Amino acid sequence: MITLSDLRSFGPYPSRVTTTVLNQVGHAMRRARLRHYLMCPPAYFDVAYSINPWMDPAGQVDRVLAVRQWSGLVEAYRATGHRVDLLEPRPDLPDMVFAGNGATVVDGHMLPARFANPQREAETALHAEWHRRNGILYGGGSVSQPSAVNEAEGDFAVLSKRILGGFGFRTTPEAHHELASLTGREVISLELVDPRLFHLDLALAVLDDERDHIAYYPHAFSQPSRRLLAELFPDALIANEHDAYSFGLNVVSDGLHVFVPSGARQLREELAAGGYWPISVDLSELIKGGGSVKCCTQEIRPSLVPARRAASLTVEVSSLVPDTASQRSAGGAS
Please tell me which residue, 77 or 2, carries the higher pLDDT value: 77
Given a cut of 50, whether residue 11 has pLDDT beyond it is: no
| 1 in any annotated domain | no
CATH number at residue 208: 3.75.10.10
| 311 in any annotated domain | no
Residue 25: its pLDDT value, please? 52
Q: According to DSSP H, which parts of the chain are helical?
A: 63-79, 123-134, 173-183, 223-232, 241-245, 266-273, 284-287, 307-318, 324-329
Given a cut of 50, whether residue 311 has pLDDT beyond it is: no
| 159 in any annotated domain | yes
Please state the rounded mean pLDDT for residues 79-93.
98
**Exposed/middle/buried for 20, CB within 10 Å: 0-12, 13-18, 19+?**
middle
Among 199, 213, 257, 296, the active-site one is 199
| 265 in any annotated domain | yes
This prediction has a pTM of: 0.85
Q: Is the dihedral of CA 253, 254, 255, 257 positive or negative?
A: negative
| 43 in any annotated domain | yes
Q: Euclidean distance between the first and final Cα of the chain, in Å?
A: 19
| 320 in any annotated domain | no
Please state the rounded mean pLDDT for residues 40-47.
98
- Split into its structural domains, the chain has a count of 1
Give the pLDDT band of residue 282 (cuts 50, 70, 90).
very high
Give the pLDDT band of residue 304 (cuts 50, 70, 90).
confident
| 322 in any annotated domain | no
Provide Rg for the chain, Cα atoms: 19
- Domain of 81 in residue numbering reads as 18-304
Given a cut of 80, whether residue 227 has pLDDT beyond it is: yes
Residue 305: its pLDDT value, please? 62
Q: How far apart are CA 200 and CA 3, in angstroms?
A: 31
Among 127, 257, 295, 296, the active-site one is 295
| 109 in any annotated domain | yes
Residue 140: its pLDDT value, please? 83
Say if CB 192 and CB 176 are below 8 A apart.
no
Distances (CA, A) of 293 to 192, 286, 296: 20, 9, 5
Given a cut of 70, whether residue 312 has pLDDT beyond it is: no
- The DSSP annotation for 3-18 comes to -GGGGGGG--SGGGEE
Predicted confidence (pLDDT) per residue in 212-224, tens digit: 999 999 999 999 9
Give the pLDDT band of residue 17 (cuts 50, 70, 90).
low
Please state the rounded mean pLDDT for residues 172-184.
97
40 given a catalytic annotation:
no
177 given a catalytic annotation:
no
Given a cut of 70, whether residue 189 has pLDDT beyond it is: yes
Q: How far apart are CA 144 and CA 299, in angstroms?
A: 17
Please state the rounded mean pLDDT for residues 120-128.
98
